[in-house]
């Protein structure tokens, strides 16, 4: 199975901060990488697919990129509604594995 390692596991930030979350797959996945946001008690929501394509309706402060051996999710200016847990996922091969999640909290 392809293992997805996210870092950090959690972070604290102020509203307005620029935040970056990293996801590293255990092997090459091309750009079959998606990012999801999950708020407590709610289903996950798709943010980014194909490593860098913004899903319809997602604010432009969210962006995805590929760099070196990993992938990044960046929130350019953190808003109060962005405090949540974020997951990466590979869809290159079955099983479609998720990262362990990154919890973004208010500082």
Partner 1 sequence: QVQLVQSGPEVKKPGASVKVSCKASGYTFTTSGISWVRQAPGQGLEWMGMINSYNHNAKYAQKLQGRVTLTIDTSTSTAYMELRSLSSDDTAVYYCARDFMGSGWYYFDYWGQGTLVIVSS
Interface with partner 1 (CB under 8 A): 1, 31-32, 34, 36, 38, 43-46, 49-50, 53, 55, 87, 89, 91, 94-101
CB of 87 to partner 1, least distance (A): 6
Please state, in angstroms and rounded to a whole number, the distance separating the CA atoms of residues 30 and 33.
Answer: 8
Closest to partner 1 by CB, 61 vs 103, is 103
Closest to partner 1 by CB, 1 vs 105, is 1
Determine the longest span between alpha carbons in the chain, in angstroms.
Answer: 38
CB of 60 to partner 1, least distance (A): 18
Closest to partner 1 by CB, 49 vs 62, is 49
Residue 79 phi/psi, 5° resolution? Answer: -110, 165
How long is the chain?
107
Closest to partner 1 by CB, 9 vs 77, is 9
């Amino acid at each position: 199975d392809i293992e997805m390692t996210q870092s950090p596991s959690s972070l604290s930030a102020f509203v307005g901060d620029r935040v970056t979350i990293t996801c590293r797959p255990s092997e090459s996945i091309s750009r079959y990488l998606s990012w999801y946001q999950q708020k407590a008690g709610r289903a996950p929501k798709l943010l980014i697919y194909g490593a860098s394509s913004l899903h319809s309706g997602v604010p432009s402060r969210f962006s995805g990129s590929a760099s070196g051996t990993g992938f990044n999710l960046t929130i350019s200016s953190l808003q109060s509604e962005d405090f949540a847990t974020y997951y990466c996922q590979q869809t290159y091969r079955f099983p479609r594995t998720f990262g362990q999640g990154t919890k973004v909290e208010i500082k």
